Structure 1
Amino acid sequence: MLHQTRESLIATLGAQSDAFIMLLEQPQAELPPRASTDYLLVEITLFPGRSDDCKRAAYEALRTLFHDIGLRPEEISLVYIESRSENWFQG
């Protein structure tokens, strides 16, 4: 699933092929109210500049991917966190 997620982000958002993907599992008590154990929150941190249409296309691609593995659309939330390049440091 992570490989397909990365490929979707490359195709729809123009993400780098070495895009970093992290999978975290949260206890049920930390999930939103009424969320089932299948709830999936996708947070994508990226530089600003992509259009709303581009971000919508990425959401639709991921929603289709996750639906194909058995998740219902109402169990999927996606949040874009846009951070300018001067806020990123490495090394």
Structure 2
Amino acid sequence: MNNPFSGGFLDRLKGKGTGTDKIDESKLRSLASQVKKSDFEDETKLRQIIKTLAAMSGKQLTAEKEDKIIEMFYNQEINIHDMSSLTKLLK
């Protein structure tokens, strides 16, 4: 399987939060296993992935921030093989 999420990215997301707001590893792995590289080329799917990751990390995204993240993907400022840029945006 060619998963666009690096193990380091999954580990960083998994480590977010404390106590009950930590991201559920099984949900995170489930999402990662469902994502295909082509999903990053479909704006609707990309928005859903971003919303799902934000919800998993307990963050609310404004429409403006979501648009900025989408723009960053299209401008290749976020590498799908190293998602640390997206992780920083979700802090």
After TM superposition, the score normalised by the length of structure 1 is 0.31
The structure that is strand-richer by fraction is 1
In proportion to residue count, which structure has more helix?
2
Structure with max Cα Rg: 1
